[in-house]
Chain A
Amino acid sequence: MATDAVVAVEGCGLRKVYGLDTPHPVEVLQGVDVRIRQGEFVAIIGQSGSGKTTLLNLLGALDRPTEGRIVLSGADTADLDDNGLADLRNRVVGFVFQFHYLLPEFTCLENALMPLAIRHGSAGRADAERVRGLLNRVGLADQMHKRPGQMSGGQQQRAALIRALANSPRLVLADEPTGNLDARSGREVFDLMREMTRETGVAFVMVTHDDRLAQAADRVIHVELGRAHEHSGAEE
């Protein structure tokens, strides 16, 4: 792994405490350092409740750390207000969730173009063409104009993956993207994610409970007791 590659996101000394204004605050992250580089495919593993989603949200500028720094695509998130964070997310981050969350009132193609619509009002012709190509690439050529309700879970998750890539982001964050799929379509989606990472040079971080998928990542970060330990994966 090239250590001099461009850093997509870096977190230093990340602490996250929930419920600070309650009698029983929970310190979920107690000082985590992570660095994700361009073109890397990183898996995050850990027990339920260990703070994987929390870490992912911090890296994607969806949430702010209680303490510590996040530098995302060269920008220190502490310097940005909420609108600044929203714009940063729009430009450099793509999220994929376990429950795809496609908007049910829009077609597959319209959903995939949503990040562009948020930024520009509507997607330009060139962008639309590129996203169409990506949807073809993941086998959704005949699903473009269907509503999410008419698509299978695997198809929806592939559409959500393309939506995360639509803005040509630096970083894609996927929280248990295969957790809601059967083994076969889970594997399909995973393979597509790996391929897209390779093709687009994006940094890809995936939270998973599936050890076999984690083993196929470039690196594995194990979140445990509020800290993160590095494993290097893909050793076979």
Chain B
Amino acid sequence: MRFEYAVATRHLVAGKGQTVLTVAAVAVAVTVIIFITSLIQGLQKRLVDDFIGSLPHVTVKPAERQPRSLAATGARVAGMAGTTVQETVQRRESFDDVEKLTRQLAQFAGVTAVVPAIRGQAFLVHGAKRLGVSVSGADPAKQERINALQDDMIAGRWLSLGSDEIVVGFRLADEAGVRLGDRVRLISSEGVDGVFTVAGIFDTGQNAADLGSVFATLRSAQRLFRLQGSVSSVLLKLDDPFTANEVADAVTGSLHHKTESWMREQAQFVNGLRAQSSSSAMISVFALLASAFSIAAVLIVSVIQKSKEIGILKSMGARDRQILLIFGMEGLGIALVGAAAGCGAGYLFLRMLAGVRQVARFGRTDQLFPISFDPTIFLGAAAAAVAATMVAAVLPARRAARMDPVEIIHGN
């Protein structure tokens, strides 16, 4: 072992240019993998946070009691406003024993928040303005677990919302000419109406929500939608959003309620994420391939250059295995030094990018590149590069081990 190690290290030190070239090939591959994976992972985390941040991961709804044809219902009321048809069907179902259901749902693995809620359509009336809005009713402290509205409040308050108060998006406030403290009327799709004080205004950054959403307490919503003591849905938040399908299926399986998983509702978005992940994996694979091929090429040349040395070592009694070990160790040396250098370079590179700021809303600055410093990415990139380099080194090493000293010695 000491002999093989000595020969391998001398080869690497003496073969300056070749060694630097191969080490650089490994380092570049590792840097590329770390960079692309960290960047994509960071971007995805931000995208997912921004996107699912305001969505329940799983929505539990009552199963329809008897199969009913929506088409038939629609046909009967054909000619009437579309939303009314929808609401007429939805309103029929609700959960009555909210406490029991909440307890049951909290038992499912991965569930971090259970929020009984009511969703419904209404008109917001202020002076001559009459705007269609979607009303979400839930306990503010609980609703906060679903979409962290508190961070988005630009005026007024939200967590201490009273039952005669609502919060609205800033675009809706603009559109309706409503200011903080103004009183507005809500007329629900059930025909119930009520007067509320605008206690807060939010800016989520999403136009649809800022223009069309009103948040109220659960009690207000129950009154507006004639659901005294019951709710129309229960919203779940999970510790891992990407387990939404499994949790939804488990809930449907054991409680027989209807469930919606954000992953199924937002299939486009999920597919987009998948496509992004697989392109980053592809880039990583190509980086590894390119580095492995260049290393294999350099090592094969070096083995051919050293064939006389190999011949003389064999004539002195070096076994094939010892020759294999020498060139294998050279590959390993290149791999380890290259991987370490690549991790270092990758870290510095990410540090640099993480420092780039961009201007965000309200004069705050944000990271332009949301970089995730994940040690498993570094370890994974290093391990993949070491494995690829060793595979690339095997062919030249075996070629060296199989060289016939007689032919080498005759061949001069």
Residues of A bordering B, CB below 8 Å: 53, 57, 60, 62-63, 82-83, 86-91, 93, 95, 97-99, 101, 103-106, 114-115, 117-119, 121-122, 163, 175
Q: Tell me whether B311 is interfacial, beta carbon within 8 Å.
A: yes
Asked whether A114 lies within 8 Å of B316 as measured between CB atoms, the reply is yes
Q: Tell me whether B319 is interfacial, beta carbon within 8 Å.
A: yes
- Bound-state Cα–Cα, A101 to B317, Å: 15
Instruction: Supply 12 further A-B pairs (C-beta < 8 A) apart from A57-B409, A103-B312.
Output: A63-B406, A86-B314, A86-B317, A90-B318, A95-B312, A101-B311, A101-B312, A114-B313, A118-B3, A118-B313, A121-B2, A175-B409
- Of A62, A86, A121, which is within 8 A of B1 by CB? A121
- Bound-state Cα–Cα, A119 to B322, Å: 11
Query: Which chain B residue has the least Cβ–Cβ distance from A121?
Result: B2
Q: Which residues of B contact A163 (CB under 8 A)?
A: 316
Asked whether B405 lies within 8 Å of A62 as measured between CB atoms, the reply is yes
By secondary structure, the B interface counts as: helix
Query: For chain B, which range describes its interface: under 10, 10 to 19, 20 to 34, or 35 or more residues?
Result: 20 to 34
Kindly specify which of B7-15, B53-61, B355-363 makes contact with the partner chain.
B7-15
17 contacts between A and B (CB under 8 A): A53-B409, A53-B410, A57-B406, A62-B314, A62-B315, A62-B405, A95-B316, A97-B409, A101-B311, A105-B10, A105-B13, A106-B10, A115-B317, A117-B2, A117-B3, A118-B313, A118-B316
Q: Tell me whether B412 is interfacial, beta carbon within 8 Å.
A: yes
- Bound-state Cα–Cα, A119 to B11, Å: 20
- Bound-state Cα–Cα, A95 to B408, Å: 14
- Bound-state Cα–Cα, A89 to B312, Å: 12
- Of B3, B14, B318, B321, which is within 8 A of A121 by CB? B3
A-B complex: 10 closest residue pairs judged by Cβ atoms: A90-B317, A105-B10, A121-B2, A101-B312, A117-B3, A105-B14, A89-B317, A95-B315, A63-B406, A115-B316
How near does chain A come to B118, taking the closest CB pair, in angstroms? 79
Q: Tell me whether B71 is interfacial, beta carbon within 8 Å.
A: no
- Bound-state Cα–Cα, A118 to B321, Å: 12
Q: Which residues of A contact B308 (CB under 8 A)?
A: 99, 101
Q: Which residues of A contact B412 (CB under 8 A)?
A: 98-99
Query: Which chain A residue has the least Cβ–Cβ distance from B410?
Result: A53
Given contacts A57-B406, A101-B309, contact A122 B6 (CB under 8 A): yes
Q: Which residues of A contact B6 (CB under 8 A)?
A: 117, 122
Q: Which residues of A contact B319 (CB under 8 A)?
A: 82-83, 86-87
Query: Which chain B residue has the least Cβ–Cβ distance from A118?
Result: B318
Q: Which residues of A contact B405 (CB under 8 A)?
A: 62
**8 Å CB contacts to A: which residues of B7-58?**
7, 10-11, 13-14
* Residue of B2, B312, B315 with most chain A CB atoms under a 10 A cut-off: B315
Q: Which residues of B contact A60 (CB under 8 A)?
A: 315
Q: Which residues of A contact B11 (CB under 8 A)?
A: 105
Given contacts A103-B312, A105-B11, A122-B2, contact A87 B317 (CB under 8 A): yes
Q: Which residues of A contact B409 (CB under 8 A)?
A: 53, 57, 62, 97, 175
Query: Which chain B residue has the least Cβ–Cβ distance from A89?
Result: B317
**8 Å CB contacts to A: which residues of B111-131?**
none
How near does chain B come to A21, taking the closest CB pair, in angstroms? 14
Q: Tell me whether B320 is interfacial, beta carbon within 8 Å.
A: yes
How near does chain B come to A86, taking the closest CB pair, in angstroms? 5
Asked whether B3 lies within 8 Å of A97 as measured between CB atoms, the reply is no
How near does chain B come to A95, taking the closest CB pair, in angstroms? 5
How near does chain A come to B309, taking the closest CB pair, in angstroms? 5
How near does chain A come to B369, taking the closest CB pair, in angstroms? 45
Query: Which chain A residue has the least Cβ–Cβ distance from B309?
Result: A103
Asked whether A89 lies within 8 Å of B316 as measured between CB atoms, the reply is yes
- Bound-state Cα–Cα, A86 to B312, Å: 12
Given contacts A99-B412, A104-B14, contact A89 B315 (CB under 8 A): yes
How near does chain B come to A189, taking the closest CB pair, in angstroms? 18
Q: Which residues of B contact A88 (CB under 8 A)?
A: 317
How near does chain A come to B13, taking the closest CB pair, in angstroms? 7
Query: Which chain B residue has the least Cβ–Cβ distance from A101?
Result: B312
**8 Å CB contacts to A: which residues of B389-412?**
405-406, 409-410, 412
- Of B312, B313, B320, B410, which is within 8 A of A82 by CB? B320
- Bound-state Cα–Cα, A118 to B316, Å: 8
Q: Which residues of A contact B317 (CB under 8 A)?
A: 86-91, 93, 115, 118-119
How near does chain A come to B308, taking the closest CB pair, in angstroms? 6
Q: Which residues of A contact B318 (CB under 8 A)?
A: 86, 90, 118
- Bound-state Cα–Cα, A103 to B409, Å: 15
- Bound-state Cα–Cα, A177 to B321, Å: 29
**8 Å CB contacts to A: which residues of B262-318?**
308-309, 311-318
How near does chain A come to B326, taking the closest CB pair, in angstroms? 11
How near does chain A come to B310, taking the closest CB pair, in angstroms? 10
- Bound-state Cα–Cα, A119 to B1, Å: 10
Q: Which residues of B contact A121 (CB under 8 A)?
A: 1-3
